[in-house]
Amino acid sequence: MQSAKCKVQNEKSITPLINAAKRAASRAYAPYSRFRVGAALRTRSGKVFTGCNVENASYGLTICAERAAVFAAVAAGEREFERIVIFTPTQSFTGPCGACRQVMAEFAPNLRVVLVNKTGETRSYSLKRLLPVQFRKPGRYSTSR
Ligand SMILES: [Zn+2]
């Protein structure tokens, strides 16, 4: 169990990520759903990559904020991620879709996933909890599985 001090430190360190996710959501291209999502992904090296949902008239081509953030990080040479913050301007919390969970699991099976609602409340999960049986190409499983 975390001490109160640790909790405060975590809250402090997460504020820049929440702000980055909110900024990304404001840039979402969502003319069809009008549902804006922003994600901020922090790498182990401390860099932050953001993504927003980008919709398309051909709906299936739409990409989610989470995958946009992961792909931007990978394109910049980063593959080790410690935390992703997902913001939606709604009262309810919005978890990542199944496709995004699988994409995140490719690089960070134990990623910390923090959901933020419009009032700034947070819910925190391990990706293993959100996607307990992650698909892996045979041979990539660790011996502990
Ligand atoms: Zn998604």
Q: What is the pLDDT of residues 72-83, one digit of tens each?
A: 999 999 999 999
pLDDT of res. 127:
98
Can you tell me the distance from the alpha carbon of 140 to that of 69, in angstroms, rounded to the nearest whole number?
24
* Ligand 1 center to 137 CA (angstroms): 21
* Overall average pLDDT of the 11-16 stretch: 81
> Domain limits of the chain?
13-130
Q: What is the pTM of this model?
A: 0.88
23: Cβ contacts below 8 Å, ≥ 6 apart: 38, 50
* Ligand 1 center to 139 CA (angstroms): 26
| Residues facing 41 on adjacent strands | 49, 84
* Overall average pLDDT of the 112-123 stretch: 98
pLDDT of res. 138:
84
Topology annotation, domain 13-130: Cytidine Deaminase; domain 2 (3.40.140)
Among the listed residues 58, 49, 53, the one whose alpha carbon sits nearest the alpha carbon of residue 83: 49
* Overall average pLDDT of the 70-93 stretch: 98
Residues assigned a catalytic role? 66
* Ligand 1 center to 4 CA (angstroms): 33
